[in-house]
Structure 1
Amino acid sequence: MGFGKPPAEFDERRLSVVRDSFGPSLRLVADTLSLRLDSVEATGEVATAPRPVHIAAGVLPAGTVAAQRITVAGLHDGRPVLRFRAHWYCTTDLGPAWDLRPTGWHVTVDGDAPLDVDIRFPVPLDRMAATSPSYTANCAVNAVPFVCAAPPGIRTTADLPQIVAALGPS
């Protein structure tokens, strides 16, 4: 991801990988909302560490990349109608300063019913590496019975019921 490298070494090829990774999900959301996308584009920027940052993999020297912000946008008539933005960072102390939280997701929706939602992970940072994989895997694991019960063929999340955790005996 380029952490610890000079900012000029940001690999622009990463943008096409991120576009190709997140673009299909953005298109699925657009299809579900009956929005037509003409294209999907990705942009990126980096921020540096103003002082040395100690992480598990070593030290990021001051002035090197400590964060990257990637935006994947679905465009219609040349303007973004859906946008996914990811911040990947090793510290929240950055130059230039970015509005980052220690953990969690921030969701904003502009439209007829605007939303601005923060979802924080109530886990100490020293336990985050052991806990965070569950935030990604749980939905897929809980979808297994619905996928198995679905008719043969390719299915998307739009074809399945809302997936919620089964927290007790079946």
Structure 2
Amino acid sequence: MKKLSEIIFNAMDRLSEKSVRHSARHIGRRNFLSKAGKVFVGASVLPLLPFDRSSGKVYAAEGPTDDDTSCEYWRYCALDGNLCANSGGSISTCPPGSEASKVAWIGTCLNPNDNKSYLVSYNDCCGKAIVNTSTSCLNSERERPGYRMGLHNDINWCMANTNKGYHCTVAALVGLANE
């Protein structure tokens, strides 16, 4: 008669062999390569995603106004660039002949009219020359150093577009910021 330890050892051996063979059949090299490929593609798309530059609430330097052609308009609290509202576009649309950048930065601005904070997406409009009559704003409170690309608004965000020429910047509302 077999010893109890031999019986347990043989049962564990059969169970281990069965699970290893099952894994080899279902989790092969192709499955590993497929998952690794997904990780590499996902990592390569990551730089194209929008960046959150808010780092807390940011306010306009001179105090907010209701004039969307002024740098002190509340939506422009983290805008660094030329206003599209003065360059043939509007606060949220690019002028004709230009296109919105494929990457953007996000700011959190306080609307003084309802005292709520909103997420604002800043997109550069690309493809036209800069107009000299455009208003140039520099609202960069809480801006981070230039070596951290996603937290720095002095970058030409048209770099992802075919036509990389900068024209102006729009400030589109994304939604309410979580407090």
TM-score of the pair, normalised by structure 2: 0.21
Higher normalized strand content (fraction of residues) = 1
Larger CA Rg, structure 1 vs 2: 2
TM-score, length-normalised on structure 1?
0.22
